[in-house]
Amino acid sequence: MVSENVREIAKKAVKTSNMSTQVSLSGITLDNPVIPASGTFGFGYEFADFYDINVLGSIALKGTTREARYGNPLPRIAECYGGLINSVGLQNPGVEKVISEELPKLKKCFRKPAIANISGFCVEDYAYAAERLDKEEQIGLLEINISCPNVHGGGMSFGTDPGCAYEIAKAVKAVTTKPVYMKLTPNVTSVVSIAESCAKGGADGISLINTLLGMRVDLKTKRPVVANKAGGFSGRAIKPVAVRMVYEVYEAVGLPIIGMGGIASAEDVIEFMLAGATAVEVGAQNLVDPYACKDIIEKLPAVMKKYGIENLRDIIGGAHV
């Protein structure tokens, strides 16, 4: 006769096996909602020496512009309580080399659709890069960065103006068949108005938040720590701001959301999804721990069990009444 303890263990095992971490972004099924954020995971293949990166839901590739960029002058990084400030300035080899050199390297070790992150300095820049990447089979969706605080004459300046956000979303949608997710800045009075403009422009989804604008001053030199003076503040300290903005945009705009900002644990993933995110991106934590995303994914089932969650899709927006 099978003891009651064995029966209970068997029941729990069956219940755990029925758990689902799958989510869907505009028709693309992800094994789990965890995605390394653009700018914190290179082009993905760099991490393949650490672990099998196919455990990831997807990968948001390093920000790509029409032409190659060296980025901002050094120093570019400043540590601070609860996070860090970066002023990298979209350093990348340009879209043509991303297609000819970076994507083939990624294909050797990653079999899932990746997310291309695109930045620009005018509407034409965004449209050009989007049209080129639209032809790449490896790319599942396009994340359009109108929120980078570390460049002049583009980036965040587009993301603070509803009219500009609309024009870029519309221009990119005109040249691509892939889903378009607009990545928004928190450095605005109303993130909802920007999200609504993106939706009107035809965006398929919203990514938020990008970094807050921050600064450190060196007490010895009495000068800003980073050469660009200010930079993007990211890390665990910004999570409450990010959760609030995801919550607001979910209520206002009927589009799927990729949430990000201070995510460092499986519990953080659940919190963002309850606020309205369908998937999440892990950013600064990758710079602290290269195994961060893998560890979060491995711990998700136990956290789901702890809070009585069988299917992650069921909790999206669960904090709303």
The residues carrying an active-site annotation are: 148
In sequence order, what are the residues at sequence separation of 6 or more whose Cβ sits closer than 8 angstroms to the Cβ of residue 222? none
Q: In 3D, which of 216, 212, 215, 262 has the Cα closest to residue 235?
A: 262
Task: Check: CB of residue 180 under 8 Å from CB of residue 203.
Answer: yes
HEC assignment per residue over the chain:
CCCHHHHHHHHHHHHHHCCECCEEECCEEECCCEEECCCCCCCCHHHCCCCCHHHCCCCECCCECCCCECCCCCCCEEEECCEEEECCCCCECCHHHHHHHHHHHHHCCCCCCEEEEECCCCHHHHHHHHHHHHCCCCEEEEEEECCCCCCCCCCHHHHCCHHHHHHHHHHHHCCCCCCEEEECCCCCCCHHHHHHHHHHCCCCEEEECCCEEECCEECCCCEECCCCCCEEEECHHHHHHHHHHHHHHHHHCCCCEEEECCCCCHHHHHHHHHHCCCEEEECCHHHHCCCHHHHHHHHHHHHHHHCCCCEHHHHCCCCCC
Residue with token string 């003891």: 3
CA distance 207 to 230: 23
Beta bridge partners of 206: 182, 257
